Amino acid sequence: MTQCIVVADDLTGSCDTGHEFATRGYDTRVVLSPQTDTTPQGDVAVYNTESRYAPPAVAADRVRSVLETADPAVVFKKVDSTLRGNVRREVDAATQAVDPDLVVVAPAFPANGRLTACGYHLVDGQLVTESPPGADEERPPTHDSLPECFASSDYPVERIGVGTVARGVTAVRDAFESLCAADGPVIVTCDAVTDSHLATVAAAAHERSARCLYVGSGGLARHVTVPGTPAGAELDVDESRTVVGVSGSVAPETLEQLGAVSEALRQHLDLKEAVTDPSTAGAALAARGSAVVENHGGVLLHSADARSDVDRAMAAGERADVDGPTVRRRVTDALATGAAEVVREDRPSNLFLTGGATARAVLDRLDATALRMAGEAVAPGIPLSTVDGGVADGVAAVTKAGGFGDDQAIIKSLARLGLPDER
């Protein structure tokens, strides 16, 4: 029986959060779309609403649709650790559906440089709006202050500072009790600059034994208690398979990681053709990618290896009278089409996927329905899983958010799947 439901706004976030439950032995499934399968599976069911860049009202409806008929022991609303997307609207929707007395908001993920101090959210030491995610072209973070991010909420908003959190579980639990004295749900944002701070916040919420909605990223998920005995999670990677890597992210971290991979393994999507004719561009990418797989046992397909590629794609869109969102969608479609054709050939390949929209597009074209988390990670926030359903059923997959990992993250991910770098 499913004891915990997680609702996340993109696929890579679904996976890195699900991993934090799987690593403790919980059978954790990431359902690629609630429309594909609304029946919970395993100890923990993670639903990807693909709502980070959806219109706010649509995003809220998708969250409510997952939670309004569910009644698990634990509900976790995953939000982006850099506060991109429809954060406030989705949390309000989850609160309305769950009707808790306490909403604990702690999006910090210290292992990946995301901290909250004095109410302000930081990414690698920068205020979140001044960090690279602050330049997100579709749905950037709106505030550096976490309480201000929720100021327009339908519910009262309070804050617990790092001084209280540092005093331990009892101090935080008592603070929760005093803030929840009023009728109805209260949103409480929590400072956290270390992993132990997140452990304290989660333990304090659990000790209250009252209905709580947890809101955070993989950092908080690591410490949320799920009742029952874990059913177990394990995965043996078949390294005799070929490997197909796909990168659709333009995050600075991913671009640096791509540069560390041997050029012999990389194939760049023709962006100009992708903007005007995604199917043809995808087919051409597949042909080149298949040749690399035949010669080297794997390939890394990517839409960009420099920020200037974004400018080139947008310029091609302007010449073709295609707007920005359509350009991005066509590039993703072409990349996913090419990747799926390579993966389908002969024996399905193990998969490395970075960028949430790209990962979802590739898995959709392979008719996958879910990912079962292995409880193992290549690095913090870069988990291993198995594909459920479709032509790639049973293959191993590594998923990575664009902004996660050091400069060797992609090399390490490909190697874990069976493709060592050739440098």
CB distance 301 to 285 below 8 Å: yes
Residue 298 bridge partners (DSSP): 243
The reported pTM is 0.87
229 vs 124, higher pLDDT: 124
Residues 6 or more apart from 244 whose CB is under 8 A from it? 289, 293, 298, 299, 301, 339, 342, 343, 349, 350, 351, 352
pLDDT tens per residue across span 281-334: 999 999 999 999 999 999 999 999 998 999 998 998 999 999 988 999 999 999
Report residue 381's pLDDT band, with 50, 70 and 90 as the boundaries: confident
Residues 6 or more apart from 319 whose CB is under 8 A from it? none
Compute the Cα dihedral for 157, 162, 167, 169 and give only its sign: positive
**For position 71, what pLDDT does the model report?**
86
Mean pLDDT of 157-176: 97
Residues 6 or more apart from 169 whose CB is under 8 A from it? 200, 203, 204, 207
Residue 304 CB-half CA count within 13 A? 25
